[in-house]
Structure 1
Amino acid sequence: MNAASAADTHFGFRTVPLGEKQRMVDEVFHSVARRYDLMNDLMSMGLHRVWKDLLVSRIRPPRSARPFALLDVAGGTGDVSFRTVEAGGAGTRATVADINGGMLAVGRERAAGLGLADRVEFVEANAEELPFPDRSFDATSIAFGIRNVPRMDKALAEMRRVLKPGGRCFVLEFSRVDVPVLDAIYDTYSFKLIPGMGRMVTGDAESYQYLVESIRRFPPPEAFAEMMRAAGLKRVDYTPLTGGIVALHSGVRI
């Protein structure tokens, strides 16, 4: 068997050509877009709400009318952006950048229903080539999306580029469970139950099999912290949450 080339990457546990991963990821999220938020509730037993609230508390949008701009990358359905503008004052705005039009369509519908269409903008964009000027945002975030980007290093560099000096970049992502016994339970739950749950709720088990595998392929926290440093971010740190099921990473543009 030939070794993977530099032009290869991972799609779950499979090795695929780098240029093919984005198309394959797009197909996953087109398939699950309409039930994505419901599946997040079911898969995490509601914990994703707690994790996202913690992320927003770290973003710290001002409660005043002072202008504050968040860019949420791969945030298609708008969850983090809605929470941020609701936590902030009249000057807080958010931009959702996502490559998947199906996810963005769901996000726009949700924004209209929540009365937030004037405070949250939705832009179809590739995380590796963000269509925004340098130094445009006070904070950038990506929640459970960085592992789906073919070239994570490029996405991190872009998230840093569009930050204003002193702005913070946040990455909320699944991590490595570090609690004995919990790790075995988590593995069983992930591989045995989540794909079946996906089949029942969305009619698509394969997409959720990929999502579970992609979590296991994601670098451990310190290795990912090094990637953030290599992208030019400073004061990089991370906080394990819920026994290491997820980690909240952050860095600053100096």
Structure 2
Amino acid sequence: MSIPILRYALATQNQRVNGFETNPGEEQPKIYTTDNLPTAFEMDEIIWACYRQIFSEHQILSSTKDSSLESQLRFNQIKVKDFIKSLVLSDSFRYLNYDVNNNYRIVEMCVQRILGRDVYNEREKLAFSVVLGSKGFEVFIKLLINSDEYAENFGDTIVPYQRRRIIAQRSKGEMPFNLKTPRLTADFSRKQNTAQLLSSTAVRRFRPQEQVPKAGDPALFLSMVNEFSPLIT
């Protein structure tokens, strides 16, 4: 019998609260969708937005692009949702992200990239980590993409985006999910700056030849002198 996902409480994040912005600005996400029969140039932008959302701008390389998938999307053989799922399940994403992070970090990253929000709390991170560890990466990704939350916010035709970016985030020094470095976290940075013992073997000291005592040097007789105790009268 399969293990059901752990229950966790939702949290009031900014994407769950209606906004009061009157004039759209840079804090408002740009929606990329195939609903309005995009031109060739607009389709290029949609494909770029998909890569940027999933791989971040740090990882958009020739090796992460898939011309076959792009062609299927251009000719409406697959939907944006299918394109996103294929990118996340690609060998490139596994190599650049899944293989170099622990399960908790992968859960946090995939929720941000696919659902466009932060994890609600540690309980949600733990719940998805159990799914990832017990059922595998592919089942975990399909659980996110086939969720009601994904369908309600992005459907089949909208590129996932960071929902409700607000100015308050800028004051904390935060940035959009797709601009965050996917591998170098704060914990890893602290480890990089900490000296670590790499070997448990004894340390051998090297003494330059010019420092080796020569014949007749008093240092050669020091051990002999230490063996004698002073005469007590």
**TM-score category (smaller protein):** under 0.3
Name whichever structure is richer in strand by fraction: 1
Normalised to the residue count of structure 2, the TM-score between the two structures is 0.24
Bigger Cα Rg: 2
Normalised to the residue count of structure 1, the TM-score between the two structures is 0.23
Larger relative CO (CA 8 A, sep 6+): 1 or 2? Answer: 2
